[in-house]
Amino acid sequence: MTDTLLLQREYTVPTYTDRKLALVLGDGVYLQDESGSRYLDFMSNYGIAIFGYRHPDITRRLTEQLERLPNLHGSFANDVRAEAARRLVARCGGGLARVCFTNSGAEANEAALKFAVLATGKKRFIACRGGYHGKTLGALSATDSAKYRQTLEPLIWDFRFIPYGEPEALERAIDNDTAAFIVEPIQGESGVRIPAEGYLGHAARICRSRGALMIVDEIQTGTGRTGRFLASHAEGLTYDIVTLGKGLAGGIPVGATLVSAAVARGVARGAHTSTFGGNPLAAAGILAVLELMDQERLGHISAIGKRFLEGLRGLPGPNIVEARGRGLMIGLELRRSRDEVLERLQREGVLAAPAGENVVRFLPPYIVEMTHVDIVLGRLERILASLAVESDRQCAAF
């Protein structure tokens, strides 16, 4: 047990799972612990380090802004913030016209829920079973997970949960009192669950026919994760509200709630403000990310994600249920404890994230190469083979 681990355990509130690892340095696709051991980061810090660590273009842009003006209240205009807003709105498209900058994805969803109420005058919402939208009270109200909700209920406003990927369920649940339907293009937290093609478009038409808004939560799927800037771009939507966060600012805390002109007209001054929201340092990070996120990079994400997924599907053994994903958002569903596999991967120098009940989630940085993928596939194959042998021995013992 290192001093850092002991110190953190003593002085921080234990709200996180303890991975029993103290990391002190990042470089490219690797993280390093206090002893100098390196770990291949195939979770990119839960989808934040999308261009890895210490990317020279991002570091340069952030350093220059840090020396100029890192923070500025939103009541003053700023050149970097204004340009980040303009470029982000243009990049997202789909009729989006304005952006409200916040500090996290959860706060972006908080703003989205508020804006839906202000724009419609209604306070009823529909969300999906298995959905995850954050842990602040409003976002938690939209999150379907007893382990997060149960001890804090009752939560706020009126949320009804429906099966994910079933437009018929939305049609039955929605009514004239519904403010909005909040939905992820792919559910990440519940196991990288992908709906049938056309689901979002069908849902958008249902919402529009009933006078409700649709909030597309792209916090994990957006900013290139699936090989498109927004995963929902695949369906050519006209948007009401889109939320972003995670790696949008190159590792600096950020959230963004983008809205149509019609929604923006319903939002009064003071409806949602944040002292650090849209600070120039985060805005500089957004500009750096947008410049790096060109078609070549998106093509790389799609191509290497496809090869990684093929490699996972080719792994032998009885412990695999399914590998699924899009771009560099991939889940490997197992027939045994995912935590055991995550722990062994970590011991083998690979970091991945949990999802669902028994899903290992891979969110590699966009600078990943096939050599890195091959390393992960090789170590994962060895781990799964070892677990299969151990299971056979246990069965034979009986």
Task: Categorize the per-residue pLDDT at 392 as very low, low, confident or very high, splitting at 50, 70 and 90.
Answer: low
Q: What is the pLDDT of residue 240?
A: 98
Cα four-point dihedral sign 292, 293, 299, 303: positive
Q: What digits encode the pLDDT tens for the residues 84-108?
A: 999 999 999 999 999 999 999 999 9
Mean pLDDT estimate for the chain: 95
Pick from 177, 176, 195: which is nearest to 185 by CA?
195
Same topology, domains 3-54+295-397 and 56-292? Answer is: no
Span 323-340, average pLDDT: 96
> What count of other Cβ atoms lies within 10 Å of the Cβ of residue 215?
31
Residue identified by tokens 């923070």 is: 71
Of the candidate CATH numbers 3.30.70.980, 3.40.50.300, 3.30.1320.10, 3.40.640.10, the domain formed by 56-292 belongs to: 3.40.640.10
User: Taking 90 as the threshold, does the pLDDT of residue 146 lie above it?
Assistant: no
User: Taking 70 as the threshold, does the pLDDT of residue 396 lie above it?
Assistant: no
- For residue 350, the cross-strand partners are 40
Decide the pairing of beta strands 96-102 and 38-41: unpaired
Q: What residue segments make up the domains of the chain, in order of their start?
A: 3-54+295-397, 56-292
Task: Give yes or no for a contact between 146 and 171, defined as CB atoms under 8 angstroms apart.
Answer: no
Task: Categorize the per-residue pLDDT at 160 as very low, low, confident or very high, splitting at 50, 70 and 90.
Answer: very high
Residue identified by tokens 């390093």 is: 32
Task: Categorize the per-residue pLDDT at 337 as very low, low, confident or very high, splitting at 50, 70 and 90.
Answer: confident
- How far is 45 from 152, CA to CA, in rounded Å? 27
Q: Whole-model pTM?
A: 0.96
Task: Give yes or no for a contact between 102 and 255, defined as CB atoms under 8 angstroms apart.
Answer: yes
Q: Measuring CA to CA, how many Å separate 132 from each of 47, 85, 205?
A: 14, 26, 23
Task: Categorize the per-residue pLDDT at 145 as very low, low, confident or very high, splitting at 50, 70 and 90.
Answer: confident
Span 323-332, average pLDDT: 98
User: Taking 70 as the threshold, does the pLDDT of residue 393 lie above it?
Assistant: no
User: Taking 60 as the threshold, does the pLDDT of residue 123 lie above it?
Assistant: yes
Collect contacts of 58-65 with beta carbons under 8 A, ≥24 apart: 58/250, 58/251, 58/285, 58/288, 58/289, 58/292, 61/250, 61/284, 61/285, 61/287, 61/288, 62/250, 62/252, 62/281, 62/284, 62/285, 62/288, 64/284, 65/280, 65/281, 65/283, 65/284
User: Taking 70 as the threshold, does the pLDDT of residue 391 lie above it?
Assistant: no
Span 14-43, average pLDDT: 96
Pick from 224, 189, 245: which is nearest to 367 by CA?
224
User: Taking 60 as the threshold, does the pLDDT of residue 7 lie above it?
Assistant: yes
Pick from 172, 228, 167, 173: which is nearest to 197 by CA?
167
- Residue 298's region, left for phi above 0, alpha for psi from -120 to 50, else beta, is alpha
For the 3-54+295-397 domain, the top CATH level (class) is: alpha beta
User: Taking 60 as the threshold, does the pLDDT of residue 395 lie above it?
Assistant: no
Task: Categorize the per-residue pLDDT at 317 as very low, low, confident or very high, splitting at 50, 70 and 90.
Answer: confident
